[in-house]
Amino acid sequence: MHEEYRQAYVLGTGLLALGLWAADPQGRAGLGLGAWILALALGALLEPCVDVASQRYGRVLSRGPADRSVLALTFDDGPAPPHTDRILEVLAREKVPAAFFCLGRDAARHPELVRRMQREGHLVGSHTQNHANLLFCLPGRSRREILEGQASMARILGQEPRWFRPPFGMRTPWTVRQARDLGMTTALWSNCPRDWQLPGAEVLARRVVDRARPGDVVLLHDGGGDRSQTVQALEILIPELRRKGFEFVRLDALADESRP
């Protein structure tokens, strides 16, 4: 959780407790204080589950080093024609490598797209089998989602994927360890333009470009809905980022630069 979110959480729960006290100051003062303390404690436990930069529950890659103007494009929730096809066409034309975190169930429906990603030099990772929110999964269900997603991808690629991204970026204290036990590194992101909001291609491109920093991992989507705006935004943001001096690298290259 970034600092502004943390402050908003503390203030919001405090106001909630204050409102409870104001409704009945004689009988509920202790209850309101206790509820606030409990909410703060729960927030402290859950923060590392949703904070894409947190390493508390296991090492994740959310960005690369800040000493070079490089960044990595990543795509979630595919493969999903026709948007995945069009994204691959833009990347090929612009000679930009990327990473695709695929759902096992959809990869099985469109194996030709997964093989095309691999053939055209992109990194292909797993995004679980069914896009389950692992924050709400017990360890057994979580491991099945991760394992089945990896197995589905391996059947298509001929090798097990080495990279994993949990849906929504949410993970439990055991998620990263389960992925690591299966030989996968967990990747999150540092630059998220929220393309699922469909604000328009120019707005999406501007969100990425304006907040771009050296070492960024950019989160976009090729599946999970209408991604035509994402395709159009790519055609804008790639040349604009290059004009700003950025170079596009694959996620694993960014990770290699992060290692001491």
Catalytic residues: 76, 221
Q: Both tokens of residue 88? A: 């691959």
Q: Which residues have C-beta within 8 Å of that of residue 62, sequence separation ≥ 6?
A: 52, 53, 187, 188, 189, 190, 217
Whether the CA torsion 129, 131, 135, 136 is positive or negative: it is: negative
Q: Both tokens of residue 61? A: 């890659």
Report how far apart, in Å, the C-alpha atoms of 99 and of each of 1, 144, 179, 200 are: 25, 23, 17, 23
Which candidate, 253, 246, 255, 256, places its Cα nearest to that of 68?
A: 246
Residues 72 and 96: their CA atoms lie apart, in Å, by 9
Question: What length is written for the chain?
Answer: 260
> Beta partners for 100?
75, 124
**21 in helix, strand or coil?**
helix
Q: Are 166 and 128 in contact (CB under 8 A)?
A: yes
Residues 146 and 148: their CA atoms lie apart, in Å, by 6
Q: Are 96 and 238 in contact (CB under 8 A)?
A: yes
